[in-house]
Each structure stands twice: as structure tokens, then as C-alpha cells.
Amino acid sequence: MTMMTRGLFLLCLALPLQPATSQYDRLPTQKKIALIESGAVKPGSQIVFAEKELNTYLAAKAQQVVPEGLRDTKITIRDGMADGYALVNFVKMRHAQSKDVGWLLSKLLEGEHPMKVTGRLQSANGTAQVDLDRVEVGGVAIRGRALEMLIRTFVSPLYPQAKVGQSFELGYNMERIELRAGQARVVIANNQSVRAAD
């Protein structure tokens, strides 16, 4: 083995192992999601969603779901965890849903506030669970009943099937979702035992 070959070999050992890319990885985000939802992904496949592409997708989706009161959305993905950031105007969000927040809440929550949410994802055997570690609004940590009220008032009406702190079925034959630094990886089950979500 020459010096150069030995040097290249050692360099390869020092580099972090990256999984081989699948045939799906270069597709647009919406196409990847459509393939998963239609059951067209081969059993045993893995589809990677890079943090950058997820941020682009989420920004566009946020405008559709919450046309007023939410902007500058961004996520940062770490191993098993994710941080979400946004500028939120809770009163405008409710008005966009043709709902009122009431006088007291409107005074407490008026204006735009930076919001940060840190959560963990555990996923296996066709199920997942999202647990919130920390929620901050305007730099102030929100916990307990105040956090429950925010979720019930502002998240649940937009995403009635969203579950926090509870296990839920992934559907679409997804075996699990893994969060790794800078990416989310969807692993499709090797068989069709995991039923599609309703």
C-alpha cells in the first residue's frame, strides 16, 4: 500500500459515515410526501428530508394554513430533537380562523412575539411520540396550564389530530421517523403491515 493510498484510506475512516442516498432523495419535498401518502415507496426504503428543504416547504405550508399571524418559520434538526422558531401574532391567527380570543387574552397576547419550541421525537414500529421540552414566547418559558391553553386555543383548531405527549400511529406504512443533525429520515416498513392513515 503506497503512502497516498494509505492516506486516502485513513481519511475515509476519519470521515463520518453517510448512508447511501436513495432514489427518492433528490425529488422535491411535495413529491416525496405524495409518494409516501400514495403508498408508492418501495418497502424498506428510506427517504431523507434535508433541514433546508423542510424549511422551504414549511414556510410555504404555513402561509396556506395560517395566512395571518405567523411568519419567519424555521426548524433546526438535531439528533432526536428539533427546535422550531417563528414570529407569532396570536390575535391575528385567531382572526384568520374567524374566531375571537376575548378581551383579556387579546390584551395579554396582542402584538407579534418571537416563539421557540424545543421538542423530542421518539418513533418505532409504526408509531411516534412528540414531547415538548420547552416553549418560549417572547423569551419567557410557558408551562403547565398556560401551555395547555395555547395548544388548545391556537394549535388544536388548525391541527385537530396533532397529539403532544401521546403516542400516535404514523400510517402510510411508515416504520419510523428519525431525526438526525440537519435532516429527518422516513423509514418505510419492509412489509405492508402498517396501514395507511385515515
Residues spanned by the domain of 167: 22-188
Q: What is the pLDDT of residues 61-100, one digit of tens each?
A: 888 888 888 899 999 999 999 999 999 998 888 776 667 7
- Integer CA distances (angstroms), 6 to 9, 114, 128, 162, in order: 5, 51, 44, 52
Q: What is the pLDDT of residues 90-126, one digit of tens each?
A: 888 877 666 776 777 767 778 899 999 999 999 999 9
Inside any domain, residue 4:
no
Pick from 109, 165, 103: nearest CA to 140: 109
pTM: 0.77
Virtual CA dihedral for 184, 166, 124, 186, nearest 10 degrees?
-20
Inside any domain, residue 63:
yes
Q: Is the pLDDT of residue 194 over 60?
A: no
Inside any domain, residue 2:
no
Report residue 161 as a C-alpha cell. 389530530
- Give the Cβ contact number of residue 186 at 10 Å: 22
Inside any domain, residue 8:
no
